[in-house]
Amino acid sequence: MEQEKRLNVSINEGNEFFAHELSINFNPTQFVFDFRCITPRTDIRSKDAPVLNIRHDTILVEPWHAKEIQRVLANVIESYEKQFGKIEKPKSVKMMEKKQHAAGKSGEAKTLAPSYMG
């Protein structure tokens, strides 16, 4: 009589977080996706300077997997846009870019927040 084989599975799920910054780099063997969330923290009880809380999760994948991520993401975005309409750059981001462009042309020092996507 054949013995029944069992397999115990333990799933270690990561914690979700909102990533408003992303950088992607590569070397010959892998792509590095670095998702970041930078949050200013101020403790009103302290007279110290504000603290920036930086959280990031890094995902390393082989080049072929990066290409598959691109394909899957394109399909998901296409489905999203069919259901909810075209994804467009938010009006506030367009305004910020316009201000940055104008500041660059006038020779003013750029003090506006840069975009970290890409």
pTM value is 0.65
Query: How far is 20 from 36, CA to CA, in rounded Å?
Result: 6
Q: Phi-psi region for residue 107, left (φ > 0), alpha (ψ -120 to 50) or beta?
A: left
Q: Tens of pLDDT along the chain (118 residues)?
A: 567 888 888 888 888 888 989 999 999 999 999 999 988 887 777 777 778 888 889 999 999 999 999 999 999 999 999 999 999 999 998 998 888 888 877 665 555 455 545 4
3-state secondary structure at position 54: strand
Reading the block at residue 112, the tokens are: 């506006």
- For residue 68, the SS3 value is helix
Domain boundaries, the chain: 21-106
